[in-house]
Structure 1
Amino acid sequence: MPEDLPADTVHAYVKFAGRSARQHGFPDADVTLATSFDKARWSDLNVSLVLRVRNKSSWKVLLTRLASKQSDQECDLLSHERDDYVLEAMKSRFRGVGEHLRPSSALSMIAFAIVHEIPEIVIAGMSLDQTGHEYNDLNMERKHGPEDRDALRAVAALHPHVKTTEPSLSQATGLPLYRAAAGD
């Protein structure tokens, strides 16, 4: 990551990427996309705002939405809503591209930012060349490679304001490399 980021930077982390961010000297997340929330596994992270992916609607989700206020620190994102964000931002759901039904959670967060018109999006720490995650305490293999590759190629073709700090990701997808502007 560049050392100098604009003052209005929002740090959005996917799942446990806040652990990697901390190892590299970056601040806690402003918003975290989580697919599960086991307090014991999250106890070492300072998580303030959470966008929680849920597989399907339930009475609990419906009641939470009805009772929600702007000050709530957690919001549910149902799987079909996640897919709709990807479709709107990238013009495909990328089904049938690989073994998985959809691109990864990281691509969902990127789609969310695109649809909500974030003016500059910088993807850092993502690789299509490596398996696993740096923060991965369960030693789980990285999934969604083919889906993410195609989705990021669509992002590169449709959204020039989305950039990456990773040269290999830029080469594989066509995303422009991020260069901090003078004075930022």
Structure 2
Amino acid sequence: MEAIQEHKGLVYPLNRTNVDTDQIIPKQFLKRIERTGFGQFLFYNWRFDDDGNERADFELNKPKYQGASILLAGENFGCGSSREHAPWALLDYGFRVIIAPSFADIFYNNALKNGIIPIQLDESTLDQWMRQAEDSTLVLDVDLEAQRINDGHQHEVQFDIPAFHKEKLINGLDEIALTLKLEDEIEAYEQTSGK
């Protein structure tokens, strides 16, 4: 997992509530066994028509949002099934930070496990940033170490994140890397237990 201490990026405002994992990555694209290559199918039914052509009315297809790496969303983002492909698709597309009033629990944990920073903020701040990102463009600077977001307009907000997950993200530690940190103790146990 790639470490992330600070991230400054263009914001894409997805002003929708209850975005479920099938909307994030439809089930027909879950046949891959690796974690990469899912970004092209992100929000597929919203981004493309039945012939595979980009829909001009879906904001993410507009040039001003190309390269966006911070997603603003409505409440209950990531609800629905527990597919880990949803954060894989978001990360593969280029999103490193998702900010919403609330997340589905399983999605929230899957995002943290895969190197995405999911941040819960109050709706008034999100509404203000949504309008800014829709009307022109918005760049946010997310400092994970300080747990602070700056919008470049003298507006700074604090956010909470569990200390364990914060440490994992800052150090780029997934569950395998955490286990390997205990390799000496595991080997010592195997030696004493007779394998």
TM-score after normalising by structure 1: 0.28
Which has more radius of gyration?
A: 2
Q: Which has the higher helix share?
A: 2
Higher relative contact order (Cα pairs below 8 Å, separated by 6+ residues): 2
